[in-house]
A and B are shown apart, each in its own frame.
Chain A
């Protein structure tokens, strides 16, 4: 009785538009992703669906998904809310550099074994939850959370050692062919990383080569075809994808409006 009343109240608070009567997936647009990721995720993320992030670069992929929703989602185009559950090391500064708005982030660093309740409470409020389950998710919890996420159109991005135990993850993202730039043997500093972002769902894997992150922290496509600089008098080439130094165009010096003698 009480729960029913609460649920009815919540439904009023929610935008119930686009939710059909039988409670299947809401007829909404996909959740937006960063422009650079649209190549591998055309149409964005399907609301209510889980996304698996595994292997090398899972943390950065999580940041990028949060940044995409936080920057480009929301009812008025102002950006959506994201929650990060069980990821105390979430790099807020890096997410902000990718475009996330820290004001619209909720961090639950240590939910412990209450994480299913925490996620259940958050699904109805936020657009995306980045979740690192503290233990192997059980069947009832998965069914309950999946149903809640589908009903409210909230994307669960799963990361961490127990992410693969989540059934029905159709879409998974990973990084391959990672190259770091900027470091050498004892000097330099990390400036950027190039990687193939691979999205795997039912069909063949889609992949795209990205600066992930670029030198300014953003996610940017690698220029294709790679720049070639031909050195006069030689055939040395800049290797594919390496940052090429372009000639710097200086703005013309301002001319004085009136010369002294005029």
Chain B
């Protein structure tokens, strides 16, 4: 708990617009009292009152329009005066600033001495103020407003100090109103409620208010610095010559890694496995997993990584320097000198809930097979298709690498100009060049007004021509015309050919290509 000294200047909006504290006066914001002087308060003027009501109670009220700019400007003098005594002044809002109290208190001979000194300094600078010292800013502000010019709340005494205050000091009118109707009228009574129930009933904001009422920091302390190095490493001397040694060490390292993560209440989304070889090669690979990787699963991945590396060597017999590799299939060429496991993308461990029924879940068997393929070809080699919205057939499917989360915010339709009818059976990843000619052998053209130069008669794909039996089009598609670098203007045709095929063809700036085949 940090000790905080708060400096509070009373009725600052009124002071800032030049109302003397001795005369009844008020700063007005949109017809309501934003702040008033002590003399006005004694006459019955309250914050939030309508100006007309305030003037009825206090006919001599000096009224000024509120000026937030002046509030900030004028408060600078107070901040400078405090900064003379202690650096690191934080302005909470015009009228309230705070400094960490523990260091200056030692320097100036105690917290009470510091409090008096700060108060005197500010008063000398020309502004009335109160100052208070307590645990945390919330308690310190109330301490600055308490008594005659503030008090010092002893360390650990914040809860007892706050207990008699009404709920309105929390600055949450809706919460205070509801709690009052439940019979909870003071911070002490609110703090006595079980925090779990408060969080369940009033949500995150209610939980925050509850922490304030209990005299605690508004947020739990952040768990450990995020930059802490949680990676674990094992070195082999002499270099490990066989898979088994490396895998066994990896299993032990995985246990250490999870221990380190669990101590911080964290888990990792991805795991990076690095393997260093005696000849200086380093193989890094990232493994992603929905849940937590067990030690056994980590060991398996290290084994796959080793076998994939071995398989990617040019020849099993000799390497490029002519050095003969061991003939044994299980041996690691050159020896492994170190293995490192590094967690990637740390997130708080919230546990995981599996889907109740079997549908839609990825079984261990599938995950293992996909991981092995990913070890061979890389993370992006194995994908799962997700149907999304789009006009062209190629835009309607997104391929998500296995282990990654499907894209969020899939655009919803409608998609005017979308192709109807059965979806094509073959959708090439990139359009295939094609040639479309009319009966005279001339290329078919489409004008800017979507007029076809002649009916298509032959389609040539990959050097093979076929006669067109029926065709339809052009269907213009003018996409992203507002974005010149990405805009596309195409005209689509469907054709059937005499060899029994049906194609979706598109012509774009005079070039024909195959978008999909119905095969």
Residues of A within 8 A of B (CB): 1-2, 6, 10, 13-14, 56-60, 63, 76, 78-79, 81, 88-94, 96-97, 102-103, 105-112, 114, 117-118, 121-122, 124-126, 175, 178, 180, 182-193, 213-217
Contact = CB atoms under 8 A, between A and B. Distances in A.
A240 B330 CA distance: 65
A118 B399 CA distance: 18
B426 interface: yes
5 contacts: A59-B425, A106-B382, A110-B377, A114-B377, A118-B377
Nearest to A14: B365
Contacts of A56: 499-501, 519
A177 to B, nearest CB: 9
B397 interface: yes
Contacts, number: 182
Greatest chain A CB density within 10 A among B330, B364, B385, B517 is at B385
Contacts of A93: 387, 393, 396-397, 423-424, 427
Given A81-B366, A125-B365, A114 B384 contact: no
Nearest to B519: A59
Interface stretch (B16-24, B168-176, B368-376): B368-376
B432 to A, nearest CB: 9
Contact of A114 (B376, B426, B472, B517): B376
Interface in B406-426: 420-426
B381 A57 contact: no
Contacts of B397: 92-93, 102
Interface of B: 243-244, 247, 300, 303, 311, 330, 357-360, 363-366, 368-370, 372-373, 376-377, 381-387, 393, 396-397, 399, 402, 420-429, 452, 455, 470-473, 494-496, 499-502, 516-519
Greatest chain A CB density within 10 A among B364, B376, B428, B499 is at B376
Contacts of B517: 59, 89
A14 B502 CA distance: 42
Contacts of B500: 56-57, 175, 178, 180
Contact of B423 (A2, A214, A217): A217
A72 to B, nearest CB: 14
Nearest to A213: B422
Contacts of B369: 106, 121-122, 124-126
A79 B360 CA distance: 10
Given A117-B311, A121-B372, A183-B495, A109 B472 contact: no
A183 B426 contact: no
Contacts of B366: 81, 106, 125-126
Contacts of B501: 56
A184 B363 CA distance: 48
A260 B409 CA distance: 49
Given A56-B499, A106-B384, A110-B381, A182 B421 contact: yes
A113 B244 CA distance: 28
Given A215-B422, A217-B422, A107 B384 contact: yes
Given A102-B384, A105-B385, A109-B429, A117 B494 contact: no
Contacts of A6: 300, 303
B387 A58 contact: no
A107 B426 contact: no
Contacts of B516: 91
A182 B372 CA distance: 46
Contacts of B472: 183-184, 186-190
A6 B495 CA distance: 52
Contacts of B370: 106, 125
Contact of B421 (A63, A186, A189): A189
A140 to B, nearest CB: 15
Given A89-B426, A94-B423, A178-B500, A125 B368 contact: yes
A186 B455 contact: yes
Greatest chain B CB density within 10 A among A109, A184, A192, A217 is at A109
A188 B61 CA distance: 83
A118 B376 contact: yes
Contact of A215 (B385, B399, B421, B496): B421
Given A108-B382, A114-B311, 12 more contacts: A56-B499, A59-B426, A60-B518, A89-B428, A91-B427, A93-B424, A107-B383, A107-B385, A114-B377, A125-B370, A183-B471, A189-B420
A96 B387 contact: yes
Contacts of B428: 88-89
A190 B494 contact: yes
B358 A78 contact: yes
A178 to B, nearest CB: 4
A172 B370 CA distance: 28
Contacts of B330: 1-2
Given A185-B455, A187-B472, A189-B472, A94 B381 contact: no
Contacts of B495: 183
Given A121-B369, A126-B366, A106 B402 contact: yes
Nearest to B517: A59
Given A186-B455, A192-B422, A89 B399 contact: no
Given A93-B396, A217-B423, A193 B385 contact: no
Contact of A184 (B420, B470, B502, B518): B470
A180 B471 contact: no
A80 B494 CA distance: 34
A122 B373 contact: yes
B422 A58 contact: no
Contacts of B494: 183, 189-190
Contacts of A108: 373, 377, 381-383
A112 B398 CA distance: 21
B460 to A, nearest CB: 18
A175 B519 CA distance: 10
Nearest to B311: A117
Contact of A185 (B243, B425, B471): B471
A120 B139 CA distance: 67
A18 B118 CA distance: 86
Minimum-distance CB pairs A-B, first 9: A125-B369, A183-B470, A178-B500, A93-B423, A94-B423, A121-B372, A59-B519, A59-B425, A92-B385
B425 A13 contact: no
A159 B417 CA distance: 33
A125 B367 CA distance: 9
